[in-house]
């Protein structure tokens, strides 16, 4: 059974309470169409569980098959370093078909981030190490493709439609 | 599920096509750890399928001086097209004729389905299986088990 080897920490992008009884960690890739589907499902799952669920997103760019996955991940991290990870994360998935340098510039400007700083960060690979660390931790945890979910540290092997995820999370909730 | 060869068993040698005009024998790789990854079929319809994942982390295998071999019952031309499409940088072996013969020797052939299991073998530099794992056919096993096994080989070697 594959388990999460890197515990959720202060470096992570987290939505929800640190006191939530269940943590859902997703390893994803902004160019992966299945992750885009998951992006439509996760917020519904979060809404369903409210403060009982904490959600964490980590990067797992499959760069050999998705040439924009790495720069997109670094763009999200660039926004994240300025407290705007989640809006950038959402915009990247919303605009998956248009991923590319022009889109990153546009999204940065939309979020009141400096597009020139973004260009600089991508060129200097400022966030490459961060993305690689997410990736390596994912590999050691048994991430086997994208998206891969962990529910309270256990890899979720089934499909990730709303009903299946809800059921799996319910099973991880402590009895009231 | 078939019963695959266990740790401690000498890995059966084989010689299979890696390209239409080239064969590779396991014994040629003696002296290095080998990761043998049986998988059911080329062209599985998910992003980051098992082979794509291994392709992403080839440097992790190289760091450990290990050779990675993918193996399925698909033919050489199918492997060539798949490999090109997914930009794979490691060999895919065709266990094609007689179909599944090598998988059978490793206990990793699914007679009823005509495909191999998702079975992983880590073979040491002397040709002995040091770790093996058979994943449920629908579950991509990832790479954590392989890397743990390769690390264990290295720490043993260091002693």
Q: CATH number of the domain at A166, please.
A: 3.40.30.10
Range in B15-29, B49-63, B86-100 the model is least confident about: B49-63
Give contacts of B142 with chain A, Cβ < 8 Å. Answer: 2, 139, 142-144, 155
With CA atoms as reference, report the closest residue to A64 among B43, B53, B78, B45: B53
Predicted complex ipTM: 0.78
Q: Is residue A3 part of a domain?
A: no
Q: What is the pLDDT of residues A121-160, one digit of tens each?
A: 999 999 999 999 999 999 999 998 899 999 999 999 889 9
- Which one from B46, B47, B112, B139 is the annotated catalytic residue? B47
Taking only Cα atoms into account, the Rg of chain B, rounded to an integer number of angstroms, comes to 14
Q: Which pLDDT does position B47 carry in this prediction?
A: 60
Q: What is the nearest CA distance from A39 to chain B, expressed in angstroms?
A: 15
Find out whether B24 and B93 touch, Cβ atoms under 8 Å: yes
- Work out the pLDDT band at B49, boundaries 50, 70, 90: confident
Sign of CA dihedral A160, A165, A167, A173: positive
Residue A141 touches partner B, C-beta closer than 8 Å: yes
β-bridge mates for residue A23, sequence order: A54
Contact B87 A65 (CB under 8 A): yes
* Domain B15-23+32-158: top CATH class: alpha beta
User: Residue B2 above 60 pLDDT?
Assistant: no
Q: Which domain holds residue A104?
A: 13-172
First to last CA, chain A: 27
**Separation CA A27–CA A13 (nearest Å):** 12
Q: Is residue A2 part of a domain?
A: no
Identity of the residue in A64, A66, A141 whose CB atom sits nearest the CB atom of B144 = A141
Within-domain flag for A8: no
Could you tell me where the beta strands, DSSP code E, fall in chain B? 15-19, 22-25, 34-38, 67-72, 92-94, 109-110, 115-116, 118-123, 129-135
Q: What is the mean pLDDT of residues A10-20?
A: 96
Letter string b/e over residues A32-66, b meaning 16 or more CB atoms within 10 A of that residue's CB = bebbbebbebbeebbeebeebbbbbbbbbbbbbbb
On whether the CB atoms of residues A56 and A13 are closer than 8 A, the answer is: yes
To the nearest whole Å, the CA of B81 is away from the closest chain A CA by 15
Displacement of CA B95 from its chain's centroid (Å): 11
What single-letter DSSP state applies at residue B152?
Answer: H
Residues of A in contact with B145 (CB under 8 A): 142
The pLDDT score that the predictor gives to residue A2 is 87
Q: Over 80: is that where the pLDDT of B23 sits? A: yes
Please tell me the total count of domains within chain A: 1
pLDDT digits (tens, 9 = 90+) for A100-126: 999 999 999 999 999 999 999 999 999
Number of CB atoms found within 10 A of residue B37's CB: 24
**Which two tokens mark B142?**
């990832």
A35-87 pLDDT tens trace: 999 999 999 999 999 999 999 999 999 998 899 999 999 999 999 999 999 99
- Taking an 8 Å cut-off on Cβ atoms, the answer to whether B142 and A143 are in contact is yes
d(CA B121, CA B129): 7
Using DSSP's 3-state secondary structure scheme, residue B19 falls into: strand
Is B47 close to A146, i.e. CB distance below 8 A?
Answer: yes
Is B78 designated active site?
A: no
B52 to A5: CB separation less than 8 angstroms, yes or no: no
Map residue A139 onto helix, strand or coil: helix
Distances (CA, A) of B92 to A49, B30, B69, B157, B159: 45, 18, 6, 28, 33
Interface contact flag, A144 B46, Cβ < 8 Å:
no
Length of chain A: 176
Distance between the two ends of chain B, CA-based, in angstroms?
36
Query: Which of A33, A140, A146 lies closest to B147 in CB terms?
Result: A140
């Amino acid at each position: 059974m594959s388990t999460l080897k890197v515990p959720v920490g202060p470096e992570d992008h987290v939505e929800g309470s640190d006191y939530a009884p269940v943590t859902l960690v997703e390893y994803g890739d902004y160019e992966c169409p299945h992750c885009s589907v998951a992006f439509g499902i996760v917020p519904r799952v979060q809404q369903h569980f409210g403060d009982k669920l904490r959600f964490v997103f980590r990067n797992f760019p499959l760069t050999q098959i998705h040439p924009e996955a790495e720069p997109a991940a670094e763009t999200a991290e660039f926004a994240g370093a300025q407290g705007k990870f989640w809006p950038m994360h959402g915009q990247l998935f919303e605009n998956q078909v248009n991923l590319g340098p022009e889109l990153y510039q546009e999204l940065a400007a939309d979020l009141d981030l400096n597009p020139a700083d973004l260009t600089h960060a991508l060129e200097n690979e400022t966030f490459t190490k961060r993305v690689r660390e997410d990736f390596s931790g994912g590999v050691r945890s048994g991430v086997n493709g994208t998206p891969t979910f962990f529910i309270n540290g256990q890899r979720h092997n089934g499909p990730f439609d709303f009903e299946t995820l809800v059921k799996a999370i319910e099973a991880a909730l402590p009895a009231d | 599920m078939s019963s695959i060869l266990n740790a401690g068993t000498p890995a059966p040698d084989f010689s299979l096509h890696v390209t239409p005009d080239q064969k590779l024998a396991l014994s040629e790789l003696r002296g290095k750890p080998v990761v043998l990854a049986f998988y059911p079929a080329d062209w599985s319809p998910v992003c980051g399928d098992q082979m794509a994942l291994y392709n992403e982390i080839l440097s992790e295998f190289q760091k450990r001086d290990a050779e990675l071999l993918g193996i399925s019952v698909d033919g050489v031309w199918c492997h060539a097209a798949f490999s090109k499409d997914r930009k794979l940088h490691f060999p895919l072996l065709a266990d094609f004729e007689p179909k599944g013969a090598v998988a059978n020797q490793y206990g990793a052939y699914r007679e009823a389905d005509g495909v191999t299991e998702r079975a992983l073998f880590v073979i040491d530099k002397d040709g002995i299986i040091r770790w093996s794992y058979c994943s449920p056919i629908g579950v991509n096993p990832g790479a954590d088990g392989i890397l743990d096994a390769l690390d264990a080989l290295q720490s043993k070697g260091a002693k």
